[in-house]
Amino acid sequence: MAAYGCASDAAAPRRRRKGGSYAAAAGAGRALRPVHAIGAALLLGGAGALWAAAPGPAAKAPTPPQRIVSTNLCTDQLLLALADRGQIAGLTKLAADAEMSGEAAKARGLPLLDNSAEELLAIEPDLVVGMPASGSPALAALPAAEYRLLDIALAERLDQIYATIRQTAAAVGHPERGEALIARMQGEVAGLPKVGRGRVAAYYQRRGYMTGTGTLIDDMMGRIGLVNLAARLGKPPLSQMSLEEMVAARPDFLIVESATDIVTDQGSEMLHHPALKDIPRISVAEAWTVCGSPAYTRAARSIAAQIARHDAGGAP
């Protein structure tokens, strides 16, 4: 994901549509820079008989990377959750933005990069992580340089989040942390009640954008028993829906980003139109939903709790 939104109000909302899946390369990626492959091949070829006759020493566990750079907001959050602080050599500038990152507090004090070729040259990273890392413009500007890369696939379901956690944890040398985090998340979602009871909800964003099926929000809705309005109407992963269309559809709930709880511009003003005032509203932090991250469980639990409060006679 190169961008999650634009400063201008005329821009489309931050990306929530279903993305393509990138090939994962947890243990391999590119070789460490640079490798004299021809000389190594000749050496191994000449010593082939010796290697076959005499077993070598036991293989050592690979040394965990110590200068890791992230090129993506979502991989920022995975690193902050799984790597040692001292292993992280650089994150994106969004990593410390509390409105965008569920791990923003942990990012404070760590290097925040512009993802430039000059920064990579100065850091000499021993692992570059992204979605995908191989798509980084900074790396493209360094054709002669080769770094070990970890391409993480976009996660749009909870099981895919677990996969990216395992992949990242193994790459940074802490697989046990990945398993512990997954176990904690599994425990947090195991007790989620199906409070939706088949009722219909629309994830409605500024300027009338609605999130459809095959997305992280859609997965959350199904987990707590809600039906996505976009699915009922046959809408694509991201579509626009006018106020008139939304009122006519009459969803049981509107799920909105908490940043739009107050009117700041024309895009957020639309969500406060009087025509929508009778539709119960559920507010959730964008930082918990913009990425397939450990914050998934916080978002799902918050949505379920707000529905339960509504059903009990209180405000969502």
The whole-number pLDDT of residue 206 equals 85
Residue 170 lies in a domain: no
* Residue in the structure block whose two tokens are 């512009």: 114
Q: For the chain, which residues score pLDDT lower than 70? A: 1-61, 144-145, 315
Q: What is the CATH number of the domain that holds 243?
A: 3.40.50.1980
Residue 26 lies in a domain: no
Residue 245 lies in a domain: yes
Give, rounded to a whole angstrom, the gap between the first and last alpha carbons of the chain. Answer: 32
Query: Between β-strands 253-257 and 281-284, what pairing exists: parallel, antiparallel or unpaired?
Result: parallel
What are the pLDDT digits (tens) for 71-93? Answer: 999 999 999 999 999 999 999 99
CB atoms within 10 A of CB 197: 13
The whole-number pLDDT of residue 26 equals 34
What are the pLDDT digits (tens) for 14-67? Answer: 433 333 332 333 333 333 333 333 333 333 333 333 333 445 555 555 789 999
The whole-number pLDDT of residue 175 equals 97
State the virtual CA torsion across 3, 8, 10, 16 in degrees, nearest 10: 30
Residue 265 lies in a domain: yes
C-alpha–C-alpha distance, residues 316 and 302, integer Å: 10
Structural contact between residues 191 and 160, judged by C-beta atoms closer than 8 angstroms = no
Residue 72 lies in a domain: no
pTM of the model: 0.78
Q: Which domain holds residue 299?
A: 200-311
What's the number of domains the chain is made of? 1
Partners of 282 in beta bridges: 255
- Measured N-to-C along each axis, helices 158-171 and 73-82 cross at an angle, to the nearest 10 degrees, of 60
Residue 286 lies in a domain: yes
241 φ, ψ (degrees, to nearest 5): -135, 125
Residue 301 lies in a domain: yes
Residue 66 lies in a domain: no
C-alpha–C-alpha distance, residues 282 and 70, integer Å: 32
Identity of residue 65: P
The whole-number pLDDT of residue 196 equals 96
C-alpha–C-alpha distance, residues 172 and 127, integer Å: 9
